[in-house]
Structure 1
Amino acid sequence: MIKSVYNYPVSTLLDIESGVVYAIPRYQREYTWSRVQWDALLDDLLDNELHYFLGSIICINQSQDALAVQELELVDGQQRMTTISILLAAIYDVFSKQPNLVMDQQMELYNLRHKLILKKMPNQPRLIPQVQNNNQQDYFSVLGQIGVLQDIETVANAGNRRVFKAFRHFLSRINLYLEHSDDPITRLQGLLEKVNTATLVKIEVASTSDAYTLFESLNNRGVPLTAIDLIKNKLLAVLESQDKGSIDKQYNRWKKVIDALGDDYAVQERFFRQYYNAFKPSLKQIVSVPVATKSNLIKIYEKLIARDAEGFLQTMIRMSEHYAQIVSYRAVPDQSKLSSLLLSLDRIQGTPAYLLLMVLFECKTDLKLQEVHLEQTVEFLISYFVRRNATDLPPTRDLTRIFMDVVESMMMLEGDEVVRHIQTRLKTESASDEQFEKSLKGPIYEDNKAVCRFVLCALEESRMTRETQVNLWALKGKQYVWTIEHIFPQGDNIPTSWVKMIANGDAELAEEYRQSYVHCLGNLTISGYNSTLGNKSFEDKKNRMDSQGRKVGYNNGLYLNESLIIQDSWSVRQIEVRTSQLVTEVMEKYPLTISTTVAQ
C-alpha cells in the first residue's frame, strides 16, 4: 500500500529541522555509479534551471514513534541519493575553505552541514549507506574528512574505492567550475541552490512487497531492485534482529544460495517460484496462493521468512544445492548417467519439470527412491518435453499446474510406484503419437529451432562411438560450433543452380517448394566449424573444406550426412523420404513407455 507520494526539493528531503534518516538496507546492491553517472548528474544540474527533476525514490516507512528518529528504508534510488550526498559533502568541503565568510554565508554552511548529519544528533549521518565493499564506512570517512563527523577512522584502501573516487571527482569538478570566477562564493552558492531546489518524487510504502509492486511501473535512472534483492534484505534484517552482530555470517550463508544458483537472475527467480510451487502442500498453511508468480513472490517469501527465518535459510541452502544439480551447473559425483540426462533435459527446455525434480531430490529417502528411479524419471521427462515442445501440447500455461498436481498426488507412494505414477500422469497430458508425428513432419525448424537442434544432435550422438565422438553442443563465444544447415537453401533469393536442380528451372515452382519443404527435418543436417554453406550449390556443400583443410561440408563423417554424400542432386522427393526416415527414428527414440519394474 502506498502511504504517500510527493515531489520534494532536496532541501526538504534533507530538512535540517527534521529527524529523518535514509537507511539503505545493509546488503543492498553496493554503490556502483561511476564517472559517467557522476558527470551526468552534475551536468544536468548545471545545465538546467532551478527545480530540475532528478527522478524518484521509494522508501519503506514503518516508523511508529513520531518523536523518535524517523528511519526510512531506502529501497530504490539509493545510487542517486548516495551520489547527491557525496556531492553535498564536496560542496561543503570547498565552501568551508573559502576565506572571509560573512554571517549569512556561515549560516548557509551550517545548514548544509545539517543536511549531512542530524541537527539534534550530530553523530547521526542523514544517509546510512549499505555495508558492501565498505560503502558505509567510506561514506562516514568522507564526512569525517570534511569535519562533519568526529572520530571516524578511514579504512585501508578507501581512496581506491568508489565513494572516495566520487568525492574527489566532485571536488575536482567544483574547483574547475570556480576556477575563473571573480566571485567564487556566489558561484558556489548558485551551485548549492541548484542542488537544493532539484526535486525528487518520494514514494513511501508500508512494506517490501508494496515497494516491489512499484518497481515494475517505475523507470528510474538506476537499476531497480529485484525480487531476490528484497527477499535477501528481508531475510537478513530478520536474522540480524534475532542475533545482533551476525550480519556478516548471515550474508555469507545467503551467498551460498546465490552461488549455487549462478549469476543468471532468471534462474534465481525461477528457483524461488518453483520452490513454493513444488512444496505448496506443506507451505500453504503459512501462505496460500494458487501459484507463485513474479508479482506475488515477495508476498510469499515475506510470510515464509516471518514464520521461521533461520529454518527458511537452512532450507534454501539445501534446496539451492539440489537445484544446482538439476540445472546441470554441477556434475553429480559418480552419477555420470544422471548428470548427462539432466543436461539433456535442460537442452530440450524441460525447466517446468524442475519443480518435480526438486521434490524427488529433497524427499528421496522418504519416497524410497534409488538413483535408477531418478534416471528413469528424467529419461521419461526428456521424451515428454521433446513431444511437448514439438507440438505445444499441453499449452505452456498448463505446465506448472500439471507438475504441481503430479507432486501432490505422488507423496504417499514409494519407489517404483512413484516413477510409474509420474509416467502415467504425464502421458495423459501429452500429445498423441499422431500429433507428434504430424509436428515432426512439418516445418519443425521454423516452429521450434531448439527441438530441431536437439533431435538432430540426439540422432547423431546415438550413432557415435568413443572414436568418433564430438561435442555437438560446443560453443565458440555464444555461437555453436556445430550448426543446423539447410540443404535446399532457406533464403528468399533461390540461387539459379538450385532452381534448375530442384524445379527444372521453374522459379515459381522452386519458391513453392522452398516454402513447403525448406524447414522440414529431411532438408536439415549438421555442419561444423561455424561454416556457412548458405546458398552454395549442392556439390559445393558436399565437398567444401575450410582454409585449414577441415571438411566443413557434408563429407564430415557425421551419420546424418551419410545419405547426402552419395547423392548427385537434391530433390523434393529426397526431402520427403529423408523426412520420413528421420521422423521414424525420432519417434522410436522418444516414446512414452510406462515402466513396469524400475529398480531391481
Structure 2
Amino acid sequence: MIKSANQYPVHTLFSHEGNVLYRIPPYQREYSWYKAQWEDLFEDLIEADSSHFLGTVITLDQTTDTFEGNILQVIDGQQRLTTLTLLLAAVHSVLKEHIEELDDDARTDVTNLGRKLVRKADGQPRVTPQKQGLNLFDYLKVLEEAGLPVEGERKPYYPSRRIAKCYRYFRSAIERLAETEELTETEAALKVHGAALRAVIVKIEVASHADAFVLFESLNNRGMPLSPVDLIKNHLLAESEKRQIMNVDQAFKHWNDMLTSLGDSYSTQERFLRHYYNAFKSELPDVPNASVATKSKLIRIYEELLEQNLTKLVDALVDASKIYGRINCVVELDQPTSLDRSFQRLLRAQGAPSYVLLMWLMSKQDDLEITDLQLELVADLLTSFFVRRNLTGYPQTYALTKVFMTTIEAFGEASGEDVVGVVRGKLSAVSSSDEEFRARLQGRIYEENTDVARFLLTTLAEDAMTKETKVDLWCQEKNHYVWTIEHILPQGENLPDAWQSMLGGKDVAAQVQEEQRHRLGNLTITAYNSNLGNKSFVEKRDRKDSKGRRIGYRNGLSLNAELATRDSWAARDIEERTKALADMVVARFPIA
C-alpha cells in the first residue's frame, strides 16, 4: 500500500538541483484556503524555534518518461503545497527587488529559490495546479509577477481570486514583519525564506489511486494524529495515577469540567490552554525556553507544569475555564447582562486573541477594584481594536500575543478606572490611525474582509434599533445567516440591461461595477436576499417574498432608509454613501 513514508525539509522537496514536479490532478477541488489559513501558516513559521511541521502529503508516482523527471501526482496536500510555493514566490519577489543590496551568497540563494519554484531545465513550475477556477492561469501569473521565468496570462478578475490574494497577503505580511521587528524588507524576507525552507513535511508515496484514497480516509477520518489537547489530557491522567494524586476517574472528571465550560470546539480548548499560560505566566512554575505558549510548545509546557503541582494547576484551569467560557459566549444566556453583550460583539468582531487579557482581568477583578462597567469598556475598546486590525492587517497576528501579554505586565499598581486607561493606551499605541482605517473602509472592503464588512453593517443597523424595531440580524437557518450582505449594484457578471442603462451604457456600467461593487457604500443587509440577485434597483427596493415579507430595501432597517426612498443607483451615489458610512464607522469604533 505505502511505497515510502519519509520526513523531508522543504528545501529537499523543492530541491533546486532536483528533477521532481508536483502536479494536482484535475479531479481535485480548486484552491480554497482563506486568509485565516495564510495567517496561521505565516505565524507558525515565524514562531517556530527550529523546523515547523507542515503536515503530510500523499503522492502517486505518475512518471512515464524519466528524461522528463519524476512526476508526482498530489492526492492530498495540494492546498498546503500551493500556499507554500506562493509564500516562497512572495519572498522571491522581495529579494529580487532588492537584489543590489544582497551579498554574493544571498544572491545565490535567490537564484536557487527561483529554481526551487521553477525547474531550470525546461521552465516548468515545481507545483502545477489544475485548471479549475482558473487556478493554473492565476498561479503562472503570480510566478511571473514574482520575477520568475514563467509566462503568465492575466484573466479577468484575476486580483479578486484566492491565488492572487494569497500572494499579495504574503507580500504584505513580509512588509509588516519588517515593521514589527524593525528589520529591512530584505532581512524580513530572508527570515521567512529560512523558516519556510527549514519546515518539514512527511511525504507518503503510494502505489495506486486505490491505496491513496484508502490512506487519505484513514488519516482524515480516524483522528490521527492526536491533538495537543488529547496528549495533554493523557499526560494528566497518567501522571495522576502514577503519582497517586487522584485516580483516573477523578482526573478525568476535572478535565471534563474544564471542557464543559469551554464547549466542544477543539480550537477554543487549545486556545484556552495557550491563553492560560500566557496570562498567568508570572505566577506559574518556570518552564525553560517557553516565554510564550505557542502551538509547538504547548505539550511540553503542560507536561512540565503538571509535574510541578498537578492538583493546583488542574483546579486553577477549571476555575479559569469558567471565566473563559463566559467571555467566549459558549452558553447562550436567557438574560445576558450588558457585559455579556459586549463579549458577544467582541466575538463577532473576531477578537478571540484578546481573551487572554480579559481572562486575566476578570480573574483579578476584586484585586484590581474594577467594575463590570469598566470591564465592558475594556471589551468595547478591544472590539474597536479588532475591527481596525482585521481590516488593516496591523498589527499582524503573530504580534498580538505580545501586545496583550505586555498589557498585563503594564498594569502594575493600577486599579479601577486606571486599568481602563492602561488598556486604552496600549491599544492606541499599536492600532492603525483613523486616517488609515478610513482609507481601508473606503476601499474594496468586501474583498478585503467580508466578515468585517458584515459586522460593521449589522452594528450600524443594530445601533439604530429600538425595542419595537429590534431584529436579530445574527439568526441562522440551516447553519446560514438569514440576514446577509447584499450588493446593491450586483456583483455578478452579465449585468442586466436595466442596470447598464441606468449606469450609462454597457462599457461604462462594466467599469463602474468593477470599481464600485465591493465598496462599503454598495453594501447593505437584507434577509433571504438570494431572491434579489441581478434584479433592477427598483425591483430590489420593493421586493417581497411569497409570505409577504419585505426582503428588499424597504425592510425597516435604518441602514436602508435612504435606499428605500431612491429610484436609481449610480457611481456617485456609491461614492457618497461610502464616505458617509466610513465616517460613521470611524466614530462608532474609536480607539483613542
TM bucket by the smaller chain? 0.5 to 0.7
CA distance in structure 2 between the partners assigned to 1:414 and 1:217 by the alignment: 54
Q: CA deviation at 1:409?
A: 1.6
Partner of 1:365, secondary structure, is helix
2:92 aligned partner: none
CA distance in structure 2 between the partners assigned to 1:389 and 1:364 by the alignment: 28
CA deviations over 1:529-569 (Å, ceiling 9, x no partner): 35431111111101111111111111111111111121111
2:513 aligned partner: 514
Q: CA deviation at 1:276?
A: 1.3
CA distance in structure 1 between the partners assigned to 2:242 and 2:200 by the alignment: 27
Bigger Rg, structure 1 or 2: 1
**TM-score (normalised: structure 2):** 0.62
Inter-CA distance 481–229: structure 2 relative to 1 (3 Å threshold): same
Q: CA deviation at 1:370?
A: 1.5
CA distance in structure 2 between the partners assigned to 1:333 and 1:284 by the alignment: 40
The residue correspondences of 1:508-547 to structure 2 (distance < 5 A) are: 508-547=507-546
The residue correspondences of 1:56-95 to structure 2 (distance < 5 A) are: none
1:71 aligned partner: none
The residue correspondences of 1:173-572 to structure 2 (distance < 5 A) are: 221=219, 222-224=222-224, 225-243=226-244, 246-283=247-284, 285-330=286-331, 336-502=337-503, 504-505=504-505, 507-572=506-571
CA distance in structure 2 between the partners assigned to 1:581 and 1:277 by the alignment: 41
**TM-score (normalised: structure 1):** 0.61
Aligned partners of 1:531 and 1:552 also within 8 Å: no
CA distance in structure 2 between the partners assigned to 1:369 and 1:527 by the alignment: 40
Query: Counterpart of 2:395 in structure 1: which amino acid?
Result: P
| Structure 1 gap ranges (5+) | 7-212, 594-600
CA distance in structure 1 between the partners assigned to 2:476 and 2:543 by the alignment: 22
Aligned partners of 2:441 and 2:582 also within 8 Å: yes
CA distance in structure 1 between the partners assigned to 2:203 and 2:284 by the alignment: 30
Aligned partners of 1:325 and 1:332 also within 8 Å: no
CA distance in structure 1 between the partners assigned to 2:271 and 2:203 by the alignment: 21
Query: Counterpart of 2:291 in structure 1: which amino acid?
Result: P
Aligned partners of 2:262 and 2:325 also within 8 Å: yes
Identity %: 41
CA deviations over 1:288-345 (Å, ceiling 9, x no partner): 4132121111110000000011111101100110110110113679761000000000
The residue correspondences of 1:9-20 to structure 2 (distance < 5 A) are: none
Partner of 1:527, secondary structure, is strand
CA distance in structure 2 between the partners assigned to 1:248 and 1:411 by the alignment: 41
Inter-CA distance 319–391: structure 2 relative to 1 (3 Å threshold): same
Q: CA deviation at 1:216?
A: 8.3
2:140 aligned partner: none
Partner of 2:223, secondary structure, is coil
1:579 aligned partner: 578
Query: Counterpart of 2:223 in structure 1: which amino acid?
Result: V
Partner of 2:454, secondary structure, is helix
Inter-CA distance 329–464: structure 2 relative to 1 (3 Å threshold): same
CA distance in structure 1 between the partners assigned to 2:538 and 2:530 by the alignment: 16
CA deviations over 1:399-445 (Å, ceiling 9, x no partner): 11111111112143222211101111110101001001101111111
CA distance in structure 2 between the partners assigned to 1:374 and 1:244 by the alignment: 37
| Structure 2 gap ranges (5+) | 7-198, 205-214
The residue correspondences of 1:141-152 to structure 2 (distance < 5 A) are: none
Inter-CA distance 241–215: structure 2 relative to 1 (3 Å threshold): farther
Inter-CA distance 244–275: structure 2 relative to 1 (3 Å threshold): closer
Q: CA deviation at 1:463?
A: 0.7
CA distance in structure 2 between the partners assigned to 1:217 and 1:321 by the alignment: 41
Inter-CA distance 534–334: structure 2 relative to 1 (3 Å threshold): closer
CA deviations over 1:219-239 (Å, ceiling 9, x no partner): 764322111111111111111
Inter-CA distance 425–519: structure 2 relative to 1 (3 Å threshold): same
2:176 aligned partner: none
1:114 aligned partner: none
Partner of 1:534, secondary structure, is coil
Inter-CA distance 410–518: structure 2 relative to 1 (3 Å threshold): same
Q: CA deviation at 1:493?
A: 2.2
CA deviations over 1:360-413 (Å, ceiling 9, x no partner): 011112222221220111111111111111211212221111111111121432
CA distance in structure 1 between the partners assigned to 2:201 and 2:246 by the alignment: 31
CA deviations over 1:163-218 (Å, ceiling 9, x no partner): xxxxxxxxxxxxxxxxxxxxxxxxxxxxxxxxxxxxxxxxxxxxxxxxxx999888
Inter-CA distance 284–404: structure 2 relative to 1 (3 Å threshold): farther
255-264 or 236-245: which moved more? 236-245
1:34 aligned partner: none
CA distance in structure 1 between the partners assigned to 2:335 and 2:500 by the alignment: 54
CA deviations over 1:485-507 (Å, ceiling 9, x no partner): 000000122222111111x11x2
CA distance in structure 2 between the partners assigned to 1:333 and 1:321 by the alignment: 18
Aligned partners of 1:287 and 1:303 also within 8 Å: no
329-338 or 386-395: which moved more? 329-338
The residue correspondences of 1:106-185 to structure 2 (distance < 5 A) are: none
Q: CA deviation at 1:243?
A: 3.1
Partner of 1:298, secondary structure, is helix
Partner of 2:456, secondary structure, is helix
CA distance in structure 2 between the partners assigned to 1:284 and 1:510 by the alignment: 65
Partner of 1:296, secondary structure, is helix
1:139 aligned partner: none
CA distance in structure 2 between the partners assigned to 1:440 and 1:264 by the alignment: 32
CA distance in structure 2 between the partners assigned to 1:354 and 1:215 by the alignment: 32
CA RMSD of aligned residues (A): 2.4
Partner of 2:513, secondary structure, is helix
CA distance in structure 1 between the partners assigned to 2:313 and 2:442 by the alignment: 49
Partner of 2:587, secondary structure, is helix
CA distance in structure 2 between the partners assigned to 1:379 and 1:553 by the alignment: 32
Aligned partners of 1:286 and 1:307 also within 8 Å: no
More helix by share: 2
Partner of 2:260, secondary structure, is helix
Query: Counterpart of 1:306 in structure 2: which amino acid?
Result: E
CA distance in structure 1 between the partners assigned to 2:443 and 2:359 by the alignment: 35
